[in-house]
Structure 1
Amino acid sequence: MLIIEGLTRRYNGRIAVDDVCLEVPRGSFVGVIGRSGAGKSTLLRMVNRLADPSAGRVLWDGRDVTRLRGRELRDWRGRCAMVFQGFNLSGRLDVLTNVLMGRLNHVSTPRALLRLWSAEDRAIALSALERFDIAELASQRAESLSGGQQQRVAIARALVQEPDIILADEPIASLDPRNTRIVMDALARINRDFGITVLCNLHALDIARGYCDRLVGLSAGRLVFDGPPGELDAEAARKLYGLEGGAAGGAGPRPERASPAPLLLPN
């Protein structure tokens, strides 16, 4: 279980996240919603330790993540994968190599530097690409792909880390409606098939309602809503979004979750 206790982050006197407390059971799909500047990205970055909290702590299965240093911190970042709005791929490298970068925490440093990937690592990476219907792009340079394809590559890279949790920071912000659905379906399949916990920052309330088991709403860094999508009424939405919230609709039910499958065993 992920436990966030009194998490706070201050930047030059400004409070970006203000005393947030949450408990997220394993296997959840949680949407973090709110306007731009509400503190959503800062919250996820503190969970991954890309940003350190000014106060509070993050616990995973009882272990204090905020105290980790060195190798233990690198191991945590391997177990807590990030998916970014900007994809964070190396454009000049081929797709398969970009995905294999997710295996860095599973190989020795010399082998990683020399890109001496084992047959097992390559099989795992190709299996992830096949899962998201982009295996035929393995040899293409990442910069030649569309935005939706690049984001699926980024999700495949996160999956091959064999994480316990995936933090998706506005993964659909730059995508058109078709690719939005494809990327959100990919995250939902990871959650459903492998039982991996997903925390996903989202602007679009209809998408959040359609895919997430639970919504966590931030406003000016403070937690103002925490509950199932059906409990987010018009008044609560207006508190989060102002006039935008009143127009938000539903996106239909998300797919049913199956029992967790073994992670990426090549066929």
Structure 2
Amino acid sequence: MLVVEDLSRRFGAKTAVDRVSLEVAPGSFVGVIGRSGAGKSTLLRMINRLQEPSSGRIIADGVDVTALKGQELRDWRASCAMIFQQFNLVGRLDVLTNVLMGRLNRVGTLSSVLRLWSEQDRAVALSALEMLDIAPLAAQRADSLSGGQQQRVAIARALVQEPRIILADEPIASLDPRNTKVVMDALLRINRHFGITVLCNLHSLDLARTYCDRLVGMAAGKVVFDDAPAALTGDAARDLYGFEAGEVMELPETSPEPAFAASVAAA
């Protein structure tokens, strides 16, 4: 269980996240929604400890994450993998090496510097690429790939960390509808197949309703909605987004493929 208790982050006089409290059950797929500047990214970055909270606590399975330091903090970040909007790949390196970077916490410093990856590490990385249908791209430079392909590489890198939680910060913001579907299907597959908890910041309410089993709505740094997707009515969306509600409530352009949805239901 991931528990966020009265978590706040202030930047000078501005409060980006204001006393947020949440409980996230293992294996859930939670969409964090709200306008730009609502505090969604800051919340996820604090959970990963990339951003330090100004006050409050983060508890994971009884461990106070906000108190972790050194190797324990590195272990937490490995078990709570981040996926970023801009992919954060090393463009001049090949795809396989980028994925193997997710294993750094599991190998020695010298081995990581010299890129002396074990056969087991390579097998894990290739397996992740195969799951995301991009294994044939393993030898290509990361900067030669399309945006959707790069984001799948980033997901593979997160997956080889063997995380308990994946934090996806607007993972489809720069992608076209086709690649949006591919990336969201991949996150759903990982969530359902491995039981990995996913917290995903999303701008589109239609995508959030399609893929998530719970929605957390933020406005001005506060949680103002926390319920099942079906409970997010038009009025609730307008409370969250104001005049932007029409832009984020368009009819969904994509939905999980029937074959994939059937395979998930049968799993």
**Per-residue CA shift, 1:212-239, capped at 9, x if unaligned?**
0000000010000000000001111001
CA contact 1:57–1:66 (8 Å) conserved in 2: yes
CA contact 2:181–2:255 (8 Å) conserved in 1: no
User: What's the % identity of the aligned pairs?
Assistant: 70
Query: Could you say what the CA RMSD is over the residues aligned between the two structures, in angstroms?
Result: 1.4
Unpaired segments of 5 or more residues in structure 1? 260-267
User: Which stretch of structure 1 is more off in the superposition, 107-116 or 141-150?
Assistant: 107-116
Q: Give the deviation of 1:243 after TM superposition.
A: 2.6
Partner of 1:86: 86
| Structure-2 change in CA distance of 1:83 and 1:258 (3 Å) | farther
Partner of 1:146: 146
Unpaired segments of 5 or more residues in structure 2? none
CA contact 1:207–1:250 (8 Å) conserved in 2: no
Measured in 1, the distance between the counterparts of 2:213 and 2:115 equals 39
Partner of 1:58: 58
Q: Give the deviation of 1:257 after TM superposition.
A: 5.7
Partner of 1:230: 230
1:173 has 2:185 as partner: no
Q: Which has the higher helix share?
A: 2
1:182 has 2:178 as partner: no
Measured in 2, the distance between the counterparts of 1:7 and 1:159 equals 27
Q: Give the deviation of 1:258 after TM superposition.
A: 6.4
Q: Give the deviation of 1:68 after TM superposition.
A: 0.3
Partner of 1:103: 103
TM-score by length of 1: 0.94
CA contact 1:192–1:258 (8 Å) conserved in 2: no
**Per-residue CA shift, 1:182-229, capped at 9, x if unaligned?**
000010010010000000000011001100000000001000000000
CA contact 1:193–1:257 (8 Å) conserved in 2: no
Measured in 2, the distance between the counterparts of 1:66 and 1:87 equals 26
Matched position secondary structure for 2:44: helix
The runs of 4+ residues in structure 1 deviating greater than 3 Å are 249-259
Measured in 2, the distance between the counterparts of 1:58 and 1:257 equals 33
**Per-residue CA shift, 1:22-67, capped at 9, x if unaligned?**
0000000000000000000000000000001011010110100000
Partner of 2:160: 160
CA contact 1:193–1:258 (8 Å) conserved in 2: no
TM-score by length of 2: 0.94
CA contact 1:44–1:167 (8 Å) conserved in 2: yes
Matched position secondary structure for 2:82: strand
Partner of 1:27: 27
Matched position secondary structure for 2:21: strand
Q: Give the deviation of 1:13 after TM superposition.
A: 1.2
| Structure-2 change in CA distance of 1:84 and 1:102 (3 Å) | same
Measured in 2, the distance between the counterparts of 1:110 and 1:152 equals 28
Q: Give the deviation of 1:244 after TM superposition.
A: 2.8
Partner of 1:72: 72
Measured in 2, the distance between the counterparts of 1:176 and 1:150 equals 13
CA contact 2:102–2:160 (8 Å) conserved in 1: yes
